[in-house]
Amino acid sequence: MSSNDYKDFNQKNPYLAAKLISIFLEKPVIFLGYSLSDENITDILEKIERVIDSEDKINKLSKNMIFVTRANGSEERMTCVEMPINDRRLAFTHIRTDDFSKIYRALQYAERKIPVDFLRIFKEQIYNIVNSREKSDLQLKYVDFDNAIKDKDIDFVAGVGMASTSEFGMKGIQGISARDLIRDIVFDDLQFSSEEIVRALPLLVKATPTYTPVRKYLKNCNSVIEFTEKQMVKRLGLSSESYIGKIIKSNQIAKTVKDIVKYEDILNNKFYDENKKLDVLSVWLNENKRFENCVAIRNELKENYDSWIEKANFHNFKRLVCIIDEIENNDLYPQQSYV
């Protein structure tokens, strides 16, 4: 805010205070680089506090106010501080750091929230359109979004379409999860390009650091990729051997599979439960790294996918799938650097 902004606020404070209360109570507000003792800030807070009529709103205001100030070489920290505002003491969150980029990086993952009142209106309008019995009321037109916002004759815009059609917007790329990629390694039916998935990988790996398969998409991506995210770099450091190392008694299992020629012998072993079969299959495949073995085991998982998921621990299942992905798309494929 400039000095003129503060001057305008003082002249129009009843109206602006009411607007600011609405904003401060609905969503968090970050004061970046302002001192907690800044006279202009305290003046605004005093005017807002005078018109708040309940203790609940005061508490909500406190929770939503975040001050970020320079640490000036001191240790970074986040604390709760109290400030005297009129006759009250309000508690606010205080973050001290000399690196504001950390705040910006944290904010980039914050998703925009849609007000409930807006959703109610949207629901009501959709309901009225769908349930209209008069053809004269069905004034519907398909246009792309860019044209829709330019068309002055359109009073209401809604997007409705099948999840499988790209034109109407499939399941949002940010809506997929590591579990979706696990299934795609088995079925190869995820309706996104490798380029789209690779762009989403840092966020997916952030949510599921270890068991997010990545090699298939990196191998098939035609773009030059550079990852700097710490968790993504760490994920790229994992290998088929890394996953084998997470299996209990993997060294002992490796000795037992040396005499196993066909993976079917593992599936037919009556002494193994489903989880044991998955672990032994993982070690056997790592000892017999061939494309045809990857394909055969993947087909076995595909044919009995629901059964495997139901009877086995999904942790063991996704580990085997990540091993298949690593062997088929990394170990048996010319490696390249993505970092």
pLDDT tens by residue, 306-319: 888 888 888 999 99
**Contact yes or no for 31/56 (Cβ under 8 A):** no
Picking from 89, 41, 92, 34, the residue whose alpha carbon sits closest to that of residue 65 is 92
Shared-domain flag, residues 186 and 278:
yes
Shared-domain flag, residues 98 and 129:
no
Residues 325, 211: Cα–Cα separation, whole Å: 11
**In the chain, how many domains are there?**
3
Shared-domain flag, residues 261 and 320:
yes
Q: Report the b/e string of 285-301 with b at 16+ CB within 10 A.
A: bbebeeeebbeebbebb
Chunk the chain into consecutive blocks of 10 residues (it has 339) and report each block's average pLDDT, rounded to whole numbers: 57 63 78 78 78 77 85 87 80 88 76 66 59 50 54 54 40 73 94 89 93 95 85 94 95 93 93 93 96 94 87 90 96 63
Check: pTM over 0.75? Answer yes or no: no
Shared-domain flag, residues 102 and 120:
no
Q: Which two tokens stand for residue 214?
A: 């990545």
Range of the domain at 67: 3-107
Shared-domain flag, residues 58 and 126:
no
Shared-domain flag, residues 281 and 240:
yes
Classify residue 320: in a domain, yes or no. yes
Q: Which of 83, 107, 131 is the last residue of a domain?
A: 107
Q: What is the per-residue pLDDT for 168?
A: 35
Shared-domain flag, residues 131 and 188:
no
**Contact yes or no for 250/283 (Cβ under 8 A):** yes
Shared-domain flag, residues 186 and 225:
yes
**Contact yes or no for 244/252 (Cβ under 8 A):** no
pLDDT tens by residue, 255-276: 999 999 999 999 999 999 999 9
Shared-domain flag, residues 226 and 295:
yes
**Contact yes or no for 293/328 (Cβ under 8 A):** no
How does DSSP assign 17-64, residue by residue? HHHHHHHHHHS-EEEES--TT-HHHHHHHHHHHHH---HHHHHHHHHH
